[in-house]
Amino acid sequence: MTPAATYTGRFAPSPTGPLHLGSLFAALASYLDARASHGRWLVRMEDIDPPREIPGAADTILQQLENHGLYWDDSVLYQSQRLAAYQEAIGDLVDKQLIYFCQCTRARLRTLNGIYDGHCQSQKLLTTDSRAIKSSAIRILVPDLAISWQDLIRGPCTENLAKSCGDFIIVRRDGLFAYQLAVSVDDGYQGITHIIRGDDLLDSTPRQMYLLEQLGLSIPAYGHVPVIKNHDGDKLSKQGFAPMVNATTPGTNIERCLTLLGINLPTDLSGASVEELLPWAIKHWSRTQIPNVPHAR
Ligand SMILES: [Zn+2]
């Protein structure tokens, strides 16, 4: 087996807006980790939440990646084309009697402080076409067990889903497949072996590991980089109206992200193009040099 076959990474943005510095940073971290490992790097568009999406954002994101020299392998996978696979996964979980309808009101859920109490567990979903009950979410039963992984960047991590979130949602009450389900099915489908992403998704990791296991899919290695915060200590996000990266200064943008990743460029690369910066950064990439809390200026 060639080294390339042992590593497949991915960047999986939602087309809810163009890339801002925080999402470029996450893309670059996963790209560098993949390329430094002689691995493949895929891009997957997580476009299964139409109410939150912005027309044209998917194309904009892909142009921004290319503009920054972050070229991906294979063709882009669009989650909107994968609904049959998610439905099939639901069927699998029905067979295992692991999922149930939840009709709890938002008001009731608010009283639970984010840890679902299993109130609707008796409403087991026993066939895939029994979604006669409208406006109900579907939850998956979780075990009262510690789920542990060796995070590639943070070191040992452990979480007990029963204590951190309880049975979680895999189909939303508006009928859309939940993020956790779609991501897990596609990470399995694309043979992803390494996931480098922002630590705002740290809570999602044990849920995805659990889903992958239940679906008989292999579990990748995970590494979580710190998310970039603004001066007020808030995560840079589209929801927080972080500005899109400046298309006219790709080299400067990459330089900024490299600095935030703990890669100190030699002075002769100051002001260099992305074509010069990226090969150097791949050579000098190290998971252990990433500072704990990068701050955007
Ligand atoms: Zn419920």
Q: Which CATH number fits domain 83-181: 3.30.360.10, 3.40.50.620, 3.30.450.20, 3.40.50.300?
A: 3.40.50.620
Distance 106 CA to ligand 1 centre (A): 10
Q: Structurally, what CATH architecture does the domain formed by 3-82+184-289 represent?
A: 3-Layer(aba) Sandwich (3.40)
Distance 210 CA to ligand 1 centre (A): 20
Comparing CA positions, the residue from 142, 178, 184, 148 lying closest to residue 161 is 142
Residue ranges of the chain that CATH labels 3.40.50.620: 3-82+184-289, 83-181
Distance 84 CA to ligand 1 centre (A): 26
- CA dist 199 and 196 (Å) reads 9
Distance 147 CA to ligand 1 centre (A): 24
Distance 239 CA to ligand 1 centre (A): 28
Give the pLDDT of residue 240: 63
Burial call 16-32: b when 16+ CB within 10 Å, e when fewer: bbbbbbbbbbbbbbbbb
Q: What is the reported pTM?
A: 0.92
Cross-strand partners of 10: 42
Give the pLDDT of residue 131: 58
Distance 180 CA to ligand 1 centre (A): 18
Distance 271 CA to ligand 1 centre (A): 55
Q: CB within 5 A of ion ligand 1: which residues?
A: 102, 104, 119-120
Query: Going by C-beta distance under 8 Å and a sequence separation of 6 or more, which residues neighbour residue 269?
Result: 276, 277, 280
Distance 118 CA to ligand 1 centre (A): 7
Distance 103 CA to ligand 1 centre (A): 5
Distance 169 CA to ligand 1 centre (A): 10
Distance 80 CA to ligand 1 centre (A): 27
pLDDT truncated to tens, each residue of the chain (297 aa)? 444 459 999 999 999 999 999 999 999 999 999 999 999 999 999 999 999 999 999 999 999 999 999 999 999 999 999 999 999 999 999 999 999 999 999 999 999 999 999 999 998 888 776 555 567 899 999 999 999 999 999 999 999 999 999 999 999 999 999 999 999 999 999 999 999 999 999 999 999 999 999 999 999 999 999 988 776 677 777 666 678 899 999 999 999 999 999 999 999 999 999 999 999 999 999 999 998 744 443
Distance 154 CA to ligand 1 centre (A): 34
Distance 214 CA to ligand 1 centre (A): 21
Give the pLDDT of residue 173: 92
What is the H or E stretch that residue 218 is in?
Answer: none
> CA 204 → CA 7, 125, 169, 208, 211, distances in Å?
22, 23, 12, 6, 11
- CA dist 183 and 86 (Å) reads 10
